[in-house]
């Protein structure tokens, strides 16, 4: 059972798209501006250097620099959860220790990637990360990318670790959320990970969400969260339908990360292109411009809900 109170983390959590300059270098000044941009939209929590943040395309020093910039800029305004997962345990633990010293609010990690590790290896990997930092640790289960499906046996072992405070559940089906929440108990936090199943995940027991498309339309996710808390599920369903159409359209571009970054840039917060091999999406693309305006119109329309 976790020793931490997770109530402050029950938030709509934007997964930060790491900004790059025209030469492809991490743009720390732009990262600070992104923090302000989302703060002004009402976001109170960010997930840094994860999949959306192109964390596996950054070296260790870059990840540390992004963490430092974001944590310092967000101080007192946002919770910052730092994804510290690396292919190896040593660097993961190093990033966890650094996040703690920097002042992050929590850490998170996927299992080891590329190599198909067994449960004992993943248990050792996650345990070493928790030992490196006295912070709430959120397991990140995303088998479609890692090739590792979190079993109930391993999950129950991890629950005995007092620093394990929650789980980001991006696996299919959505009923996995209920399974993990039931085992974890009322004080264990589940983040919904599938953007297109946001309200379904909340019905199954998730009390927050972290997503890769939140950055393109944070207002719509905040609206769904508001409607769910008011138990106005039909209205939440209405917003989810719009969100799902936008997720599909974002996914139709050469890279979703490139499309989300370009939507954010069109909205006045310039964050550059993704790092190769993720492909850029031109700000002049007519389909992107149309999508941007459709998102803005939907945000205006749903304000009255």
List 210's β-bridge partners, or say none.
13
What is the rounded distance in angstroms from the CA atom of residue 202 to the CA atom of residue 209? 9
What b/e string do you get for 211-230 counting C-beta neighbours within 10 Å, with b at 16 or more? bbbbbbbbbbbbbbbbbbee
| pLDDT score for 172 | 85
Q: Catalytic site residue 140?
A: yes
CA proximity to 259, closest of 273, 276, 241: 273
Which of 4, 37, 140, 214 is catalytic? The answer is: 140
Mean confidence (pLDDT) of the chain? 97
Q: Is residue 38's pLDDT more than 80?
A: yes
Q: Catalytic site residue 270?
A: no
pLDDT, tens digit, 9 for 90 and up, residues 42-55 = 999 999 999 999 99
Q: Is residue 224's pLDDT more than 90?
A: yes
List 90's β-bridge partners, or say none.
none
Which of 4, 168, 223, 292 is catalytic? The answer is: 168
pLDDT, tens digit, 9 for 90 and up, residues 113-148 = 888 899 999 999 999 999 999 999 999 999 888 889
| pLDDT score for 2 | 86
| pLDDT score for 112 | 86
Q: Is residue 1's pLDDT more than 80?
A: no
| pLDDT score for 108 | 98
Structure tokens at 238: 């209405």
């Amino acid at each position: 059972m976790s020793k931490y109170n997770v109530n402050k983390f029950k938030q709509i959590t934007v997964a930060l798209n790491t900004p790059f300059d025209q030469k492809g270098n991490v743009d720390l000044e732009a990262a600070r501006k992104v923090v302000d941009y989302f703060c002004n939209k009402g976001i109170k929590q960010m997930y840094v250097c994860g999949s959306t943040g192109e964390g596996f395309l950054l070296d260790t020093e870059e990840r540390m620099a992004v963490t430092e910039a974001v944590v310092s800029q967000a101080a007192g305004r946002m919770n910052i959860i730092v994804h510290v997962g690396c292919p190896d345990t040593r660097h993961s633990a190093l990033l966890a220790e650094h996040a703690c010293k920097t002042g992050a609010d929590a850490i998170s990690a996927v299992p080891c990637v590329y190599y198909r590790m067994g449960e004992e290896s993943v248990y050792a990997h996650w345990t070493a990360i928790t030992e490196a930092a006295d912070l709430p640790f959120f397991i990140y289960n995303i088998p479609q990318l890692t090739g590792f499906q979190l079993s109930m046996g391993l999950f129950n072992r991890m629950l005995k670790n007092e620093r394990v405070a929650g789980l980001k559940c991006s696996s299919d089906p959505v009923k996995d959320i209920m399974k993990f929440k039931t085992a974890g108990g009322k004080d264990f936090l589940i983040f919904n990970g599938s953007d297109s199943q946001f309200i379904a995940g909340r019905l199954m027991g998730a009390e927050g969400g972290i997503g890769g498309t939140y950055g393109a339309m944070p207002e719509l996710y905040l609206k769904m969260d508001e409607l769910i808390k008011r138990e106005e599920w039909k209205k939440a369903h209405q917003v989810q339908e719009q969100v799902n159409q936008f997720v599909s359209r974002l996914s139709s571009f050469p890279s979703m990360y490139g499309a989300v970054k370009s939507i954010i840039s069109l909205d006045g917060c310039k964050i550059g292109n993704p790092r190769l091999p993720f492909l850029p999406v031109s700000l002049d693309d007519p389909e992107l411009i149309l999508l941007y305006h459709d998102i803005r119109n939907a945000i205006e329309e749903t304000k009255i809900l």
